[in-house]
Structure 1
């Protein structure tokens, strides 16, 4: 039986919750993890408030194989993620010589002011996550990976840590066009097919485009035979319903 490796994502930052910054990391991380065989099960967004971050970290890291966080590891006063993670794990935090050495590759000695050195504050016992773009590192402690919120930097960090992650069976996804049939026509039959195999997830997704209305049915699962069986049953269902179409 294939192992299940799960993950949660914690997005940290007032700017996300106020809408000032539009998140671009959730979709990327979800697709990335799915592609390597890790199931992203939960996403939370919390403000730059220590108790909120600590509570979310402790809840999520105990529930899933991995917890990934983005945001709040910069040089300003409201970048409190590192301190909050240290508090969640009950460890100290201070300026890490390894992180300072990385920052020195980018900044001249006189440029490493107190604000920039905040980016070198790492919880005790954590491993660094390299940042090839701006050098300010992320870190890993326990099963928690702390990454930057800037999408390009986060993506680079994710590429670096991916080889170290335990992965499970990859998700198999098959998309079936409903060929103009309204959801209300096939909903009952689709529900019955979904109940026939708990290892398969089936979703129906309507959308509008310049070419008109479109329904797609998506089958997801990790067992090829189960996915193929469910997809075949759905195609058979849609075929039977074609002769009794309702207006869209």
Structure 2
């Protein structure tokens, strides 16, 4: 589902293990790409600790600022999985053991002895939230208004987010073109600035690269209007040709 508007999002990556460096986050890049393809622009991402005050403050700030807020992490069965309770607190609603969530866990484990108190914790959902299906391990995430709560394990998060994103209304999709140039960034910086000034509706980024046998810069052009994008790219190509610079378009 898409519309002719700009739809924005923020991602809150929750977990002390990310801030300590023990866990290398794999969710940000994947979710940014998936949302972008659906016409939802990720405008901000934060990593915040397993601290109730920090989580509540971040959720309340971001849900007022963006069309969608996604969280990852903190909805498992252990004592430090506090995200669901913090979301309930942010919205001022109770946390309850959701009957639908319990049913999903019962069907998944198919053995009452395996559905212990720790696992039942994953059925604790803020009142008024709708469940996000988990096709991998059954324990659901949830959506409350514009806040979508997902697990931190990448394989499970991605499977759940794929289904969720299909239900969300996106806006205009951001288009992208890249000029990979055999020229140093400092050499082309002034020229790039002129092209940017002449095409203010196009986002232009400069990203140097270097290897033992090669060095240069990738110039990335992004815009939700194909005609404006092509004009900016063509202008830069003309400048690169004038500089007699080798480049390729991606």
* TM-score under structure 1 length normalisation: 0.95
Q: Distance in 1 between matches of 2:16 and 2:71?
A: 14
* TM-score under structure 2 length normalisation: 0.94
Comparing 195-204 with 38-47, greater Cα deviation is found at: 195-204
Output aligned runs, 1:1-248, within 5 Å: 2-107=4-109, 108-178=111-181, 180-242=182-244
Offset from partner CA, 1:117-145 (integer Å, 9 cap, x none): 11000000000001111100000000000
Q: Give the unaligned 5+ runs of structure 2.
A: 246-250
Deviation at 1:210, TM superposition (A): 4.3
Structure number with the bigger relative contact order (C-alpha 8 A, sep ≥ 6) is 2
Q: Distance in 2 between matches of 1:181 and 1:198?
A: 24
Comparing 64-73 with 105-114, greater Cα deviation is found at: 105-114
Q: Give the unaligned 5+ runs of structure 1.
A: 244-248
Q: Distance in 1 between matches of 2:92 and 2:206?
A: 45
Find runs of 4+ consecutive structure 1 residues off by over 4 angstroms. none
Deviation at 1:209, TM superposition (A): 2.6
Matched residue, 2:248: none
Q: Distance in 1 between matches of 2:33 and 2:212?
A: 26
SS in 1 for 2:22: coil
Deviation at 1:214, TM superposition (A): 2.6
The alignment of Structure 1 onto Structure 2 pairs a total of residues equal to 242
